[in-house]
Amino acid sequence: MFLRMVCGTFYRQWKKMLMIALTVALGASIATAMLNVMLGVGDKINEELKTYGSNITVVPQSESVISKLYELDEDVRYDYLKEESVNELLTIFWANNIVDFAPETDTTVTLDGNEVRLIGSWFNHHLEFIKKGTTYQRDTGLVNLRSWWDIKSGKWLDEQELNGTDYCMVGETLANEKKLSAGDTIRVKGEHGTKELEIVGIFESGDDEDKCIFTTVTAVQELTDTSGLIKKIEVSAITSPDDELAVKAAKNPSLLTGDEYDLWYCTAYVSSICFQIQEAVPEAAASAVRQIADSEGKILEKTELLMSLITLMSLIGATLGISNLVTSGVMERSQELALLKAVGAKNGQITRLVLTETILTAVVGAVAGYFMGYAFAQIIGQTVFNSSIEMNGMVAFIVAVLIVLVTLVGSIPAIRLVLRLRPSEVLHGGH
Amino acid sequence: MNKKKRMFIRMITASLVRRRSRMIVALLAIMVGATILSGLGMIYYDVPRQMSSQFRSYGANVIIMPSGDGFIQEQALQTALGKFPDAELEGYTPYRYENTSIHNMPVTLAGINFDSIMKTSPYWHISGELPEQDGQTLVGAKVADKLSIKTGDSISAVNSFEVTDSTDTSRIPDYEIYTDPKTGEKHCDHALDLKVTGILDTGGSEEEYVYVSLGDTAYLSLADRGYDIVEISAAATQDKLSEYIDNINSSVRSVSAKLVKRVTASESSVLTKLQSLVFIVTAVVLILTMICVATTMTAVIAERRREIGLRKALGANNGSIVGQFLSEGLVLGGIGGILGALLGYAFAEIVSVNVFSSSIMFQPLLIPVTIASSVIVTGAACLIPIRSAVEVDPALVLKGE
């Protein structure tokens, strides 16, 4: 009988029930979309912040200290890292968080009688190697690490397209000074010979690099007779903002307790990534570029807080909207419920009937709403960040709990009203 | 006429008061919508300003250099700074570099203004204290490492030069001048005694310098000259900054201002993303709440079909019924809009204080916009159900079908 009554309601009152389901769906979709965006916004903004360039630099370990302390002979190159050490970056625990990296080596060359800094690096390098049976590969280089460069003429040096290594890009200030343009060939003289480099592009960077020439790593190595050696690695990694643990660990990781150490090691703090790089490349010292690392943390934290407050507000909005509709939906049916009372239904029975109907409707609405919310989250992700937003399994759970709670709370005033109804009055037509 | 009007008002107020609970439900829905519109609207407008000041933690976004071989003079600097609106200028630090030697090792000394340095380089990590007065110094970690300098040490920066007849010796203490016994040339080891108050750690090239006050560099070099470079941190968008820079470059010939592209280009891209995020979120939430308001109003009106039927039976024409319901809707929309606008402002303020620890900039225009849109939305939401409601046949409704 109970089942039949419930089915009857859905059959006869499908319009009202549909409206409740629709509102619940709307509310659930707001909640789903906002929660997903909130949980995903950190990653997205972090990716955007990568345009600031590298946040970690890897240099040879205290070159000065070693050579000064032990007065070693000058032939040993303390101020260089092996070019293969770059590969090691892809083997660390947080390798997936390393977005871009490029080795760097430089020298001072003479160009038309002036001393100029010549920097060798990767532009759009394709790195591929096999280590312990695993194939690692990555496309990386300055194209991403110097995203703020404005190419004034010519284009980016394309390592994949050009044959050979004798190509370069020249900073705008230097190009203006020497009247150079893309397509020209310059002759640079280094310690170990001279080289002719073809200019592929002129760039504006807005800092000291405007006075430099950028070329391939090999070209610099040939000029300085340092084959296979580099001076520095620039790394751009997605990191978590520093908190107390990170600050404590940054001082000295060995002071942490076992649990703290595990947590620190397995969190993408800039300090733990630096630590892991040093583990992989023992002769190197990795340090955070404070300007980038600190600011990223700060901005990330603010954005996440902002989004969580906006989400909270949308949730409140959605909650009120749903409970509103549930309340008015039940109120509308006062006549019908009064009739039930008149024919002898007990308060408990009526309450059960109303709740079952409402919750059934809400569940249908919530499921539809969850998928609508998924669509909304994707729309937001595509429009703002040009990438999809990952769905978090936890969100479905939160939304489900929220909807059930809200529906129950929303039904309370309506049920109280129903219980107070006096059948004779309602059925007679008075209010 | 007057009587009719009074009756009309009475009907509306009576219906709002008598059907209290239902009206509160509707009012709540409208209010939530209005709160979201005004709150998120205010946040949307203020996000660039608030975030922009967060982005200042990247440090200087404009640098001024001398245009020729000379130095930047104080007067030229002040004229250049005058091109920035006061409210946007967060801070500026002049740098003056001097070559000197510490512990017989060549070191570059950077004369800066310690009061403003944390504004243009907020990312500096100092173990120890930032110097506060002349005679104190902050040593870059690389230099400190190389020369084994620790916080609390006393060091001495030496400027050695040959004293000729043209040298102004009035500012050099006598004991610093000595004569080379072999050549008979006079030399001077002009020293600046410094107390190390802290070690600077940035992970960048800033660690390769020793920082002292501008006064100390002038003392050590025995020359009053201008600055080598000035770093400026301004809370403005890239377009605005470019405008100021063009302005400076065209009016102050002796200096050349440059945009620190690395900072500004990325900042504007992130800010645009963030603002469009808030915009889309606002739009989505708003559309959903609008639908919510509409469904609530539909429900409220649908249950009053009996009342409509009764009034029609008593001879009311469709127009007056539509008028009454519409007015009720508008009154609700108005009240909800006003309450929502204020609540939204409060919400935006709470968000701003919590997230950015500063007050939100009040957007007066958003208040009328919020009220107007909630009235319009409520009105529109009423119209649809009313139109079908007035079509009812009084006899059928009153009979109870």
Question: Residue A283: its pLDDT value, please?
Answer: 83
Mean pLDDT along residues A263-285: 86
- State both tokens at A382: 């595509």
Q: Which DSSP category does A286 fall into?
A: E
Question: Residue A425: its pLDDT value, please?
Answer: 66
Per-residue pLDDT for A78 more than 70? no
B23 and B111 assigned to the same domain = no
B105 and B220 assigned to the same domain = yes
* A148, A291, A309 member nearest B355 (Cβ): A309
Could you tell me what percentage of chain A is helix, strand and coil, using 3-state DSSP and rounding each to the nearest 5? 55, 20, 20
Is B65 part of a structural domain of the chain?
Answer: no
B134 and B40 assigned to the same domain = no
> Are A290 and B145 an interchain contact pair (Cβ–Cβ within 8 Å)?
no
Indicate the average pLDDT of chain B: 83
Is B59 part of a structural domain of the chain?
Answer: no
Residue A287 with chain B: CB contacts under 8 Å = 203
B325 and B372 assigned to the same domain = yes
> Are A379 and B280 an interchain contact pair (Cβ–Cβ within 8 Å)?
yes
Residues in a beta bridge with A98: A237
B219 and B96 assigned to the same domain = yes
CA within 13 Å, CB half, A66: 14
> Are A45 and B274 an interchain contact pair (Cβ–Cβ within 8 Å)?
yes
Please report the DSSP string for B223-251 in residue order: ----BSEEEEEE---HHHHHHHHHHHHHH
B101 and B46 assigned to the same domain = no
Indicate the average pLDDT of chain A: 81
Is B60 part of a structural domain of the chain?
Answer: no
Residue A379 with chain B: CB contacts under 8 Å = 280, 284
- CA dist B273 and A93 (Å) reads 30
B279 and B395 assigned to the same domain = yes
Q: Which residues of B305-325 are buried (b: 16+ CB within 10 A; e: fewer)?
A: bebbbebbeeebeeebbbebb
Is B211 part of a structural domain of the chain?
Answer: yes
Given B187, B217, B234, the domain boundary residue is B234
Smallest Cα distance from A206 to chain B, Å: 5
Closest-CA residue of chain B to A299: B54
Cα B197 to its chain centre, rounded Å, is: 32
- CA dist A230 and A242 (Å) reads 30
Q: pLDDT tens, B288-312?
A: 777 777 777 777 777 777 777 888 8
Per-residue pLDDT for B141 more than 70? yes
Could you tell me what percentage of chain B is helix, strand and coil, using 3-state DSSP and rounding each to the nearest 5? 55, 20, 25
- State both tokens at B370: 């919020």
Q: How many domains does chain B have?
A: 2
- CA dist A153 and A160 (Å) reads 20
Structural domain span for residue B95: 89-234
Is B251 part of a structural domain of the chain?
Answer: no
Place of tokens 């109120």: A331
* A19, A299, A385 member nearest B55 (Cβ): A299
Given B185, B217, B234, the domain boundary residue is B234
Is B48 part of a structural domain of the chain?
Answer: yes
B128 and B223 assigned to the same domain = yes
Q: What is the predicted ipTM?
A: 0.73
Q: pLDDT tens, B12-63?
A: 777 767 667 677 777 888 888 888 888 888 888 888 888 877 787 778 888 8
> Are A290 and B300 an interchain contact pair (Cβ–Cβ within 8 Å)?
no
* B interface test, pick of A14, A290, A319, A385 with most B CB neighbours within 10 Å: A290
B145 and B228 assigned to the same domain = yes
Smallest Cα distance from A189 to chain B, Å: 26
Residue A27 with chain B: CB contacts under 8 Å = 288, 292
Cα B199 to its chain centre, rounded Å, is: 30
B164 and B214 assigned to the same domain = yes
Higher pLDDT, B1 or B104: B104
Per-residue pLDDT for A214 more than 90? yes
B373 and B297 assigned to the same domain = yes
Contact present, B156 and B191 (Cβ < 8 Å): yes
> Are A290 and B354 an interchain contact pair (Cβ–Cβ within 8 Å)?
no
* B43, B54, B261 member nearest A299 (Cβ): B54
Is B308 part of a structural domain of the chain?
Answer: yes
State the Cα angle at B228 between B154 and B198, rounded to 5°: 25
Per-residue pLDDT for B211 more than 90? yes
Q: pLDDT tens, A388-417?
A: 887 778 888 888 888 888 888 777 776 777
Residue B51 with chain A: CB contacts under 8 Å = 299, 302-303
B94 and B222 assigned to the same domain = yes
- CA dist B191 and B211 (Å) reads 15
Given B207, B234, B261, the domain boundary residue is B234
Contact present, A363 and A322 (Cβ < 8 Å): no
Closest-CA residue of chain B to A427: B400
Contact present, A278 and A48 (Cβ < 8 Å): no
- State both tokens at A414: 């309506």
